[in-house]
Amino acid sequence: MIKNTIKSNEKMYILAADIALNTIGGLRFKKIIKRGLTFEELWTLPSHEIFDRLGKEKYVEQLLEKRRGIKPEKAVERLNELGINFITILDKKYPPLLKEIFSPPTVLYYKGDIEILHKDAIAVVGSRKFSSYGRNATEKIVSGLAQAGYVIVSGMALGIDTFAHETTLASGGKTAAVLGCGLDKPYPLTNTSLFKRIIESGGVVMSEYMPGKPPLKQHFPARNRIISGASLGTLIVEGNIRSGALITARDTLEQNRDVFAIPGPIFGESSSGTNQLLKMGANLVTQASDILEYYGHSSKQSEIITKPSNEAETVIFDVLKDGQLHIDEIIESSGKESQFINSTLTMMEIKGKVKNLGGMVYILN
């Protein structure tokens, strides 16, 4: 493991090298360190000395060519202008679990609070082409994990990723989004509001790609290793055999982390990947407590789930505290509009806070 030590100016020179090389890469970074070079020396030593230490490899030639036009101080200023922070693998704030993977990003660009990834985190991924079953399962399980204090990590893609982030925010939890492009423009653009809300809620949006990098197809498989690498384990909600979610599952296994999967209909294409993972030995999940118990936190989850997390839920708790009631009685007792009660009950049922006993009769769980 790389130690958390960095000299005062070294950080901005690592940033400059990352820009020059279009991401340094973990292997190149380790080679430079092993040859006894600092990144400041990469900018100040004569070319022949650097060639003597690193050899005449293509990346060395590229760095020496590009360093003429890159001023490290200006690179830092540019990020500040964009409101983007950066962290290197030598920083103490760097996510500790991510540092343990085979090829961790040398530089992470981020907006928000990167230190939330020093807490226990679970990755949640799935198909962009989701089913109502997949959405409901995501909302039910993620709400329980978020309320139990787990950070939810995902990729902010449309579909299951979006529902994972949205549910975490609705549950009052913290979430981390890992993008496959630069942070100067949210991707996808339809998730611009989500991008902002994640940051404003105390979460983080991050990428190994510098500002200006477009969302190229090849970036996303590499992005997936960060999602799983920053987490204790990965929950695969829905995805076919060729889904990107299955790539994340493979990364998770290679990183010696835990893989969880939600079973799906045997005739559903969108569940073919998760069902295959279960055949291969993934941990089966049908509720948040399956994951919480796996990590020894079931009692914590139960304590949190039985409390209201917002004013709307408090209304329902007050009405149902003495026992079960029909929805019409809940509406009458609360003095609220039927639409308000319906939507609140639906979300609370997803979270496992109330139970529909049948015939629209509800009781607190």
Name the most confidently modeled range: 20-29, 190-199, 351-360. 190-199
In this prediction, residue 22 has a pLDDT band, given cuts at 50, 70 and 90, of very high
Who contacts 237 (Cβ-Cβ below 8 Å, separation ≥6)? 124, 125, 126, 127, 134, 137, 138, 141, 160, 164, 245, 262, 274
Residue type, 273: G
Is 183's pLDDT higher than 80?
Answer: yes
What domains can be seen in the chain, in order of their start residue?
10-93+101-107 (no CATH), 114-301 (3.40.50.450), 306-364 (1.10.10.10)
pTM, entire model: 0.82
- What is the distance between the alpha carbons of residues 159 and 132, in angstroms, rounded to a whole number? 10
Read off the pLDDT of residues 136-181 as tens digits, 9 standing for 90 and up: 899 989 999 999 999 999 999 999 999 999 999 999 999 999 999 9
In this prediction, residue 192 has a pLDDT band, given cuts at 50, 70 and 90, of very high
